[in-house]
Amino acid sequence: MDFTFSEDEDAYRQELRRFATRVLAPHYQSDDKAAKLRPGLVADLAGMGLTGLRIPERHGGQEASAVIAGLAAEEVARGDFNATYLIIVSALVSDILTRNATEEQQAAWLPRIASGEVVPAFCITEPEHGTDAAKLETRAERDGEGWRITGEKTSITLGMAADKALVLARTGGPGAHGVSAFYVDLDERYVSRSAFDDLGSRAIGRASLHFDGLPVGPEQLVGDEGGGFVSVMQGFDYSRAIIGLACLGAAAVSLDEALQWARDRDAFGVPIGTFQGVSFPLAEYATYLKGARHVCYEALWRKDNDLEHSSEAAMAKFWAPKLAAEAIHQCLLTFGHLGYSSESPVGQRLRDVIGLEIGDGTAQVSKLVVARNLLGRTYAP
């Protein structure tokens, strides 16, 4: 049993930490205030290969392991939590395309994601269908050899900034097997966007997208007609562990800052860290964060080794974001009134990580996955 990164992985981790600290962190709060994706951010990430992590080398990517993708999200989140959305969405979309698209489609689409030329979005959620995504109502109606997509997708990460999107739309009857996947241009003549005014992660441009007869050709169908839902949902398991690590990265840097504050801040003539009421909560969260981190990396390691990992990924998804929010909250309290100021990044991290207690699967659904794995389908909800 080995609990260490390899030399190459550790060197990459250190390189990413320097990059996140030097290049990303200075923009984290100003991007939030601007409430839009900074144009230079995509280029910064692409220059480090972070938008092509899961893309095969023959298509301009890094062909990185799932563990490396998680490591990248964790380290980038220390500098700019919201930058990790570009890593996660690019990895998820490109992984789905690599598994299901033809070689010709991959050659046309993947290099532009890897280079940062294209920012992709992933369009599943609808106003009336989030967790029960198999019941989605957006339709792709036949139009000659192709289709026209009509309907609304909501809560779309990078929805205001994306150039292209992987869209699930109904081409057949009810249920999962009536759904197909399309990789489409977000043509403004047929797609209108409405931005959300969010509590956190404002820079990522979460939005609703309204499709008004968007034409798509047969070359934009990903996989088989009617097979889109099943093929797409297979990609969610490991991405949930990456999400967990992004949240834990934000919590870890907040904990580092709080620990330093406990050394530097004096009260009653001594550093506040000498008081158990200050140091014990930080020690507790350091312990919890380490445990959650191991769960996340185990899920990714199992993915890389072609082992079942649904339960571990579900554990990571419901535990890590919740734990990160609690840990960052405690760090904010450790700073006292300074932590509550908008000049401190701790409060923004708290607002930001809360979003991933909701996005990409609720805690209740994740616990359902774990319960069914533990009890067996017959004896679980």
Which CATH number covers residue 277?
1.20.140.10
Does 381 score more than 80 pLDDT?
yes
Question: Is 266 inside any structural domain?
Answer: yes
Q: What percent of the chain has pLDDT over 90?
A: 91
Same-domain check for residues 104 and 131: no
Q: Rounded to an integer, what distance in angstroms lies between the CA atom of residue 107 and that of residue 97? A: 10
Same-domain check for residues 71 and 154: no
pLDDT value, residue 374: 95
pLDDT value, residue 132: 83
pLDDT tier at 235, thresholds 50, 70, 90? low
Same-domain check for residues 205 and 317: no
pLDDT tier at 130, thresholds 50, 70, 90? confident
Does 371 score more than 90 pLDDT?
yes
Same-domain check for residues 257 and 363: yes
Same-domain check for residues 190 and 263: no
Tell me what the mean pLDDT of segment 198-204 comes to: 96
How many structural domains compose the chain? 3
Same-domain check for residues 357 and 245: yes
Question: Which of 118, 151, 186 is the last residue in one of the domains?
Answer: 118
Same-domain check for residues 57 and 136: no
Same-domain check for residues 81 and 139: no
Same-domain check for residues 245 and 360: yes
SS3 276: helix
Q: Is 105 exposed, middle or buried (0-12, 13-18, 19+ CB in 10 A)?
A: middle
Q: In angstroms, what is the C-alpha Rg of the chain?
A: 21
Angle of helix 66-79 versus helix 276-304 axis, rounded to 10: 150
Same-domain check for residues 133 and 174: yes
Residue whose C-alpha is closest to residue 246's, from 50, 62, 107, 33: 50
Q: Rounded to an integer, what distance in angstroms lies between the CA atom of residue 311 and that of residue 328? A: 26
Give tens-digit pLDDT for 240-260. 999 999 999 999 999 999 999
pLDDT value, residue 262: 98
Question: Which structural domain, as residue segments, surrounds residue 239?
Answer: 235-379
Give 227's strand partners. Answer: 179
pLDDT tier at 230, thresholds 50, 70, 90? confident
Question: Which of 118, 143, 159 is the last residue in one of the domains?
Answer: 118
Give tens-digit pLDDT for 34-87. 999 998 999 999 999 999 999 999 999 999 999 999 999 999 999 999 999 999
Eight-class DSSP state of 24? I
pLDDT tier at 136, thresholds 50, 70, 90? very high
Eight-class DSSP state of 132? T
CATH number of the domain to which 114 belongs: 1.10.540.10
